[in-house]
């Protein structure tokens, strides 16, 4: 199968969407599918307002259309609601092509966190964007229910996996910091609620691994916190595994891939009882969910690492990719065309009509009489 995957979120961005798409593409290619990615790297871009790490493609419409015309894909998946995603969506709509979309990010909440835009306006926009898709892929049952209440239709589940070879229990001595070590890792942005974590009165050390548009301000205002910046691969996994509790203060995530990564390292989670954590964390087993984030963190401390790891092992990228593949919208096979001049085969009469006389209309067009010219 030839898949065209169109995304505004791509390398070198560091976020859950990019990691999800990367793992999914790897699994699809291992299974023998051909995947072509249309991403901002192929276009002239400008930085996204308030989020310069994200680059937005300029004048994408025609170029995206030409690229899709050249690819002749069997399926089109629109991963994001940015300029590239919009161009691909419009290309599919104009040609009557089925396509799928994915709801990775709660954009109405993200926009409202930065600008005074009502949620109703944000949801109307994203509902319009996804409304023509054959299916919209969502991460969890609670996210599906929430979007259904907002008027979204044709929703289907697409779960997530975790690289349990990379994210695994490791030596706690990697971090030479006062214990316990309370970790946040991920993007440092206003919608992630990182400040909720930094404000907590906790013993030991608060550690932030990651970066983002809110980082400079938080470093200045919370100098007692240890900031490690972005870390990748083995080094990132070592930071996570050496921590004692992962504190996840976001209220806006659709899933929270980092939750599974922490649990795969044997690290329990403390989070709010909101969309994402309520579907991923086993309450009292792999973490604690509570509106009192400090209480959740203290209660999660000392939970069994083996049970956290066992829960994460049940989530594989192979299984998640099978879900994705089954949800793709393939075009209907066109009716074969006949050679020029060939007679069209007559369709068989339905069984209910056999042995009956055809009914003809009694109405006839009136005959027009010619008037003889006057002599």
In the block, residue with structure tokens 């946040």: 184
Domain 2-161+321-327, CATH homologous superfamily name and number: Glycogen Phosphorylase B; (3.40.50.2000)
**Rg of the chain in Å (alpha carbons):** 28
Please state the pTM of the whole predicted model: 0.83
Q: Could you tell me which residues are beta bridge partners of residue 135? A: 100
Lowest mean pLDDT among 55-59, 79-83, 196-200, 344-348: 344-348
23 vs 52: CA distance, rounded Å:
25
CATH topology of domain 172-315: Rossmann fold (3.40.50)
How many CB atoms sit inside 10 A of residue 266's CB?
23
Phi, psi of 366 (to 5 degrees): -65, 145
What are the sequence ranges of the domains in the chain?
A: 2-161+321-327, 172-315
Count of residues making up the chain:
375
Q: What is the pLDDT of residues 108-162, one digit of tens each?
A: 998 888 888 999 999 999 999 999 999 999 999 999 999 999 999 999 999 999 9
Q: For the residues 276-304, what does the mean pLDDT come to?
A: 97
Q: What gap in Å lies between CA 141 and CA 159, rounded to an integer?
A: 10
One fold for 2-161+321-327 and 172-315: yes
pLDDT above 90 (res 346): no
Residue of 173, 186, 188, 254 whose CA lies nearest to 219: 188
């Amino acid at each position: 199968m030839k898949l065209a995957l169109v995304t505004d979120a791509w390398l070198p961005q560091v976020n859950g969407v990019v990691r999800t798409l990367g793992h999914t593409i790897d699994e699809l290619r291992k299974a023998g599918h051909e995947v072509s990615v249309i991403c901002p790297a192929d276009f002239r871009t400008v930085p996204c307002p308030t989020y310069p790490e994200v680059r937005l493609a300029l004048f994408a419409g025609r170029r995206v259309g030409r690229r899709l015309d050249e690819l002749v894909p069997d399926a089109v998946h629109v991963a994001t609601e940015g300029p590239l995603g919009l161009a691909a969506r419009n290309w599919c709509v104009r040609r009557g092509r089925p396509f799928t979309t994915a709801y990775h990010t709660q954009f109405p909440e993200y926009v409202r966190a930065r600008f005074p835009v009502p949620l109703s306006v944000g949801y109307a926009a994203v509902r319009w964007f996804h409304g023509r898709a054959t299916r919209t892929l969502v991460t969890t049952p609670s996210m599906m229910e929430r979007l259904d209440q907002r008027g979204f239709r044709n929703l289907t589940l697409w779960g997530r996996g975790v690289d349990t070879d990379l994210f695994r229990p490791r030596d706690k001595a990697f971090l030479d910091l006062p214990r316990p070590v309370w970790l946040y890792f991920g993007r440092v942005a206003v919608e992630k609620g990182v400040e909720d974590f930094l404000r907590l009165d906790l013993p030991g050390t608060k550690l932030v691994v990651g970066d983002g548009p809110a980082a400079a301000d938080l470093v200045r205002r919370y100098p007692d916190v240890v900031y490690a910046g972005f870390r990748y691969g083995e080094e990132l996994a070592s930071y996570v595994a050496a921590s004692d509790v992962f504190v996840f203060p976001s209220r806006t995530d659709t899933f929270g891939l980092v939750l599974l990564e922490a649990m795969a390292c044997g690290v329990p989670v403390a989070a709010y009882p909101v969309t994402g954590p309520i579907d991923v964390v086993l309450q009292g087993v792999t973490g604690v969910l509570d509106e009192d984030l400090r209480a959740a963190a203290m209660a999660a401390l000392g939970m069994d690492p083996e049970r956290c790891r066992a829960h994460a092992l049940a989530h594989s990228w192979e299984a998640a990719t099978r879900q994705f593949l089954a949800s793709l919208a393939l075009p209907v096979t066109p009716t074969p065309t006949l050679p020029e001049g060939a007679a069209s085969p007559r369709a068989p009469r339905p069984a209910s009509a056999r042995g009956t006389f055809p009914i003809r209309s009694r109405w006839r067009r009136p005959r027009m009489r010619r008037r003889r010219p006057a002599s």
